[in-house]
Homo-oligomer: A and B are copies of this chain.
């Protein structure tokens, strides 16, 4: 905050707030915030409403709980008005225009200003400490185990939605507090849509299928994608699978501290491009993962984020062909001083044989 000339910092983005306070609530928007953290160089507050005040007062340490009498935003403005300092940092990628206008108007009357300071907490969050890595390992181990179970019960004729629900149920009953994201199961032509939502289409023998899933544990997200065919795989699938796997291995081998997100992305993209399929790799190579399923650092074509030890990223190259389907293989890696440690361990088998 000193480096940025900020006397006060306002934090409302749910993962940032949970990181600083432990208060775990997923707000839909800044306008419907369950709580705002306000930091100065010597004080910290968590302002909330009657809906959450008792929970905050009972569970949050190191921050003074403040109860807003009516609208939480009025409470936030009142608190900010009491604190000294001309420059108040805020999260421009979380705060809505409407909330910003109301705070800015009130502060403006006192000749104070709001300053975008998005990455202050995000940069702290990008580098995980030992406790966070331990939680991530457990979320990932649960996800690996459930994927291994899937390979034993999945059958042709089950719909994408049935498989997705069975995954969610097994993760939840296995100890997940929730899903890192809605599990996605995509088969046949649906597998050409990287963010496909499971449908009532039955999965079939011999068509491209991928499953993207992750447990959430104590707030932290696992993320795993595996691609396969049931029983038998056509040559074009096996070729695409080999290409994506090769690209993933090259990227994994190249990850190390000091590499930037653009160069990380390029490691895999070059392999796929040189094989003549560059236009089928229609998304980024990967993203940081932690309290948010997508967080810093980004591994993409325009990312200037630089890898550091303690960062945890997905490595997920893929190729997608409209009408045919797609292949994506995704693992999670921890950046270490020497290079990287792959945290995911689920088997990679291009063909699942029905037992």
**From B25, B31, B116, contact of A98 by CB (8 A):** B116
Known: A193-B55, A282-B51. A93 touches B96 (CB 8 A): yes
A342 at interface by CB-CB < 8 Å:
no
Q: How far is the CA of A54 from the CA of B173 in the complex (A)?
A: 34
CB-nearest residue of chain B relative to A101?
B92
Q: How far is the CA of A178 from the CA of B165 in the complex (A)?
A: 10
The complex is assembled from copies of this chain, and their number is 2
Q: How far is the CA of A93 from the CA of B301 in the complex (A)?
A: 31
List chain B residues, Cβ under 8 A from A71. 302
List chain B residues, Cβ under 8 A from A192. 54
A1 at interface by CB-CB < 8 Å:
no
Total interface residues on A, CB under 8 Å, equals: 49
List chain B residues, Cβ under 8 A from A195. 25, 34, 51-52, 55
List chain B residues, Cβ under 8 A from A320. 50
**From B90, B96, B169, B302, contact of A95 by CB (8 A):** B96
A123 at interface by CB-CB < 8 Å:
no
A29 at interface by CB-CB < 8 Å:
yes
A284 to chain B, nearest CB (A): 10
A24 at interface by CB-CB < 8 Å:
yes
On whether the beta carbons of B24 and A197 are closer than 8 Å, the reply is yes
Q: How far is the CA of A25 from the CA of B193 in the complex (A)?
A: 14
Binding site for B on A (CB under 8 A): 24-25, 28-32, 34, 50-52, 54-55, 70-71, 90, 92-101, 116, 118, 165, 168-169, 172-173, 178, 182, 192-197, 282-283, 292, 294, 301-302, 320, 322
Q: What are 25 residue pairs bridging A and B, where the CB atoms are less than 8 Å apart in the complex?
A: A24-B197, A25-B195, A25-B197, A34-B195, A50-B283, A51-B194, A51-B195, A51-B282, A51-B283, A52-B195, A54-B322, A55-B193, A55-B197, A70-B301, A90-B97, A92-B97, A92-B101, A93-B96, A93-B97, A93-B99, A94-B96, A95-B96, A97-B100, A169-B169, A178-B182
